Structure 1
Amino acid sequence: MTTTTPPPEAFDYIIVGAGSAGCVLANRLSEDPEVSVLLLEAGGSDWNPWIHVPVGYFKTMHNPATDWCYLTDPDEGIDGRRLQWPRGKVLGGSSSLNGLLYIRGQREDYDDWAQLGNDGWDYDSVLPYFKKSECQERGADDYHGADGPLKVSDLRLRREIAERFIEAAKASGIPENRDVNGATQEGVGYFQQTSYKGFRCSTAKAFLRPALKRSNLTLVKRAHCQRLLLEGKRVVGVEYRQGQSIQRASARLEVLLSSGAIGSPQILQCSGIGDPDHLAEVGVDCRHALPGVGENLQDHLQIRLVFKTSCRTLNDEVRHPLRKLAVGTQYALTRTGPLTLAASQVCIFTQSRDGLDRPDIQFHMQPLSADKPAEGVHPFSAFTSSVCQLRPTSRGRIRITSADPAVYPSIQPNYLSTEEDCRVAVDAIKVARRIAEQAPLAEVITDEYVPGREYQSDEQLLEAARRYSQTIYHPAGTCKMGHDDLAVVDDRLRVHGLEGLRVVDASIMPIIVSGNTNAPTIMIAERAADMIKADRRAQARVA
């Protein structure tokens, strides 16, 4: 590998990562023609057609051409299993791989962030940024925008089993809610998704592609950030690998880390920013002590229940070659049908037990079932009812194991490591079963395939949760925002104790949001872009 480098090229802002947050930053910062922006992406272009077909996540997840293909450490909380953690390694990042589900979380999530001392992150302050990015198919109202670049649409697929699931949830006492991103989250209804006329709307498509027409935005693909360049306590640029050579770029104003809940702490640690004892163990000189880097890892763990049915489900529609051909033809001609399917059809937000003041569990209902989606659906009619705890109390961590940035870090989620999380897991399975016992769903269920009715006692249900759970791919919190000893960034997302460096992605969440994390990550970037612009104007006035 070439180690000599030419003099670094200078930009006002360097953004590391062209994912859900980085594409937003690139767009919003380059709106100002007076600044220059460099966007570095470790992956390649989003040319793969499966990225743009909504159901294409079956093809792009676990594909090293588009996915980092991370793997967790063995986790005692889930019977020592290791889980695959897909993360987008392509323009658009995980917004090019995810299940397209548009969920913001609860008002209380953001109010809780503000109560921790993070000014400007309460719900009333962040709502305008959700609206700013959104182009809502249903039109604008008090909670939604219709002029933003991110297309948010209703599902283009309806199936009988989903309707039965909704009616059963209502029969169990859960109210119907057509807009879980509106006045209240609680209830059951169909998901909305980030798509438009049958195509995925990633942040690369919504934000980056229009911005690339600007001469002040430079995109460099297949550029893997190795480390940050520091002069004293100021970050002045980045070092990145492209092919077999090492390149450098300098930042006149700021470097913005948007590499996600795994990538951002890894880059910080490889740069000597983190816990001094841990850095010494892996042979990295500590340049800036910040013990919270990589700590506070949170994720949503879903417990999958699969029910066999006497009525047809999507298993029957996509199992045979001729039916697959029909599905493909339908999509090609009308942009409708199973190929427009998001990761789930129906969502539920509800309480796992009586006495709670807001939902603490979420359901993702899929009108199909599979052991592993990439291996194909089950050879029988069935649907999946997955349920996760919204605000887990378990905390994990991300830690590098080598000074070499090419070596993947250790990922330890510590799932189900607290008594509260175990209790919610058991209660959540009971809620799932209670829904399945209601008409009109119960009359078409022939068997509980997973985990099976042999699991009955609380101890057995916890065993089932440990055995049949999977990530929903929502890692967050590893560069937490706040002012305590483990905080990495302040409420303007500036890294504590350093100049010229911010982190802008899901890693800054002090507490994970109550739902899917893509829409909140986009909001975080919208909010950060305004903060960065305001700080630049303030500095200019002082100068």
Structure 2
Amino acid sequence: MAGRDGAVDTGEFDYIIVGAGSAGCVLANRLTADGKHSVLLLEAGPRDRNIWIHIPIGYARLFKNPKVNWMYQTEPEPGLDGRQVFQPRGKVLGGSSSINGLVYIRGQHADYDRWQQLGNVGWGYDDILPYFKRAENQQRGEDEYHGVGGPLHVSNSRINDPLSDAFITAATQVGIPANNDFNGASQEGAGYYQTTTRNGRRGSTARTYLRAARERRNLKIETNALAQRVLFDGKRASGVAYRQNGALKSARARKEVLVSSGAYNSPQLLQLSGVGSGELLRQHGIDVVHDAPGVGASLQDHLQVRIVTRCSRAITINDDVMSLRRKAMMAMRYAFLRKGPLTIAAASAGAFFKTHPRLSTPDVQIHFIPFSTDKMGENLHTFSGFTAHVCQLRPESRGSVKIKSADPEVAPEIRINYLSTDTDRTTNVEGLKILRKILAAPAMKPFCAGEEEPGPQVTSDADLLAYARQRSSTVFHPTSTCRMGNDPLAVVDQQLRVRGIDGLRVVDGSIMPDLVSGNTNAPIVAIAEKASDMILADAK
């Protein structure tokens, strides 16, 4: 049957979810669980069959794989000496949860209380904690802050790493307390990260949420299906047009269209559909359904600035990779025990600390990893080395996402405006100075053979800032481009409904009013858990 514009009509569903990523897989599971609602789940990428998706360290192999990665780039960034910054995002079942660094961090209690203080009722820490717990299957067991029995497995490290042990001890030696649970009562401190893994295998949302729902008769999953636009009857979302294997198709939604395409693709799809800045849409010949200038505005991301240190002992993953015997042992240990270096996340240990005593909560996060490379996704160094990254937790800089064309296959214009404020510049410099103190503490001295990057010649604040401009990169946490709020630039309300439109919600990291203080995957899962309850409540 032919639908609009000659598209093949693929039927009618209660809900259409655009994007089978961290949020979309959660929604697909929860909305089909009771069997009452039919759901169509559209994913632009393929099924998650690449073996490296399921091996934790495989993120390094997927970093620049266009088969499962959107491979975005920012526009030249003025604050980074005009450099473009690579922006990998998942294009596969599981989305970025299939290619990310697996670190499980929720953020600070104050992050969510700040959202509520901005007028987002129902989004305080006490409101969101039950959804973190519902999602979680915590290896350490249930307590006030953690849950068991949920789909998302959260596990302890499966590597024995003396460098990470030394880093944690060194942090305590410079006054940072030890912390065994960054997601508990307080985030501040140094310790090991937990990861979204189970028995040494990645726990993407495709594996943890979608797998359990795949055989349900009321769920239809379409891969390699790139959404072209949301369809409207007046100002009500009525369906989605998508292209699959060269054919234009469309599906109709009885209840709602749920956009879960991520911080770059969700605003892009809204703009392609006629929801966005009227001026921008008219430039590209798109009919304006609703003039919403906040769509694509308010983009935030975490920047990271690294220190690379030469190791005085051949105990790094660099050394494992350089030795055929050690590589073979590494592979065998993973194959038979699901342990060892192949289970490592994008950080093994880390710390959260304040760069100034006046702060009430940490403003910097450290990711520590027992290997080093010039750039993520490239070959490891041929010397023994390890890396520690400074990440400013609450950047002030904001950017934008704008379509460059009415063609859905053309990547959007991404401007993040890194290091555009005094606070952002100062915090990164102070973070590097404190990290250097940790790496110079007694516990690290036996392992440090000298700073490779930025190097001992970089000493002044001006030099450190210049280094940050030259070498920093993203931590892969874009958010806030379809921001929740009550002001004129807010895109969605507290129920995640697109303002000014009926039957349309956005459910993913783009709705965050601002960045959480840490890695974003766990919060996005919790957002989708909460959204599923709101959607089902409205369906009654």
Common fold by TM > 0.5: yes
Superposition map of 1:10-159 within 5 A = 10-159=12-161
Residue 431 of structure 1 aligns with which residue?
A: 434
Residue 365 of structure 2 aligns with which residue?
A: 362
Residue 508 of structure 1 aligns with which residue?
A: 511
Structure 1 residue 283: Cα displacement: 2.3
* Post-superposition CA distance 1:490-539 (Å, at most 9, x none): 000000010000000000001110000000000000000000011111xx
Structure 1 residue 8: Cα displacement: 5.0
Q: Distance in 2 between matches of 1:487 and 1:499?
A: 16
Q: Return 5+ residue gaps in structure 1 as ranges.
A: 538-543
What letter matches 1:401 in structure 2? K
* Post-superposition CA distance 1:24-43 (Å, at most 9, x none): 00000001212111100111
Superposition map of 1:289-308 within 5 A = 289-308=291-310
Structure 1 residue 425: Cα displacement: 1.0
Residue 484 of structure 2 aligns with which residue?
A: 481
For this pair of structures, how many residues does the alignment match?
536
2:386 partner SS: strand
Superposition map of 1:140-289 within 5 A = 140-289=142-291
What letter matches 1:291 in structure 2? P
Q: Distance in 2 between matches of 1:433 and 1:146?
A: 38
Q: Distance in 1 between matches of 2:117 and 2:524?
A: 20
* Post-superposition CA distance 1:400-442 (Å, at most 9, x none): 0101111000011100001110110111111111111211112
* Post-superposition CA distance 1:341-373 (Å, at most 9, x none): 111101211111222110000000001111124
Residue 540 of structure 1 aligns with which residue?
A: none
Residue 475 of structure 2 aligns with which residue?
A: 472
Superposition map of 1:365-514 within 5 A = 365-514=368-517
Does the aligned pair in 1 maintain the 2:63–2:376 contact within 8 Å? Answer: no
Matched, 1:328 2:331: yes
Does the aligned pair in 2 maintain the 1:261–1:478 contact within 8 Å? Answer: yes
Using the size of structure 1 for normalisation, the TM-score is 0.97
Segment of structure 1 superposing worse, 253-262 or 372-381: 372-381
Q: Return 5+ residue gaps in structure 2 as ranges.
A: none
2:377 partner SS: helix
CA RMSD of aligned residues (A): 1.1
Q: Distance in 2 between matches of 1:482 and 1:488?
A: 7
Does the aligned pair in 2 maintain the 1:319–1:376 contact within 8 Å? Answer: no
Q: Distance in 1 between matches of 2:291 and 2:49?
A: 41
2:297 partner SS: coil
Using the size of structure 2 for normalisation, the TM-score is 0.98
Residue 352 of structure 1 aligns with which residue?
A: 355
Does the aligned pair in 1 maintain the 2:304–2:474 contact within 8 Å? Answer: yes
Q: Distance in 2 between matches of 1:373 and 1:264?
A: 26
Structure 1 residue 170: Cα displacement: 0.3
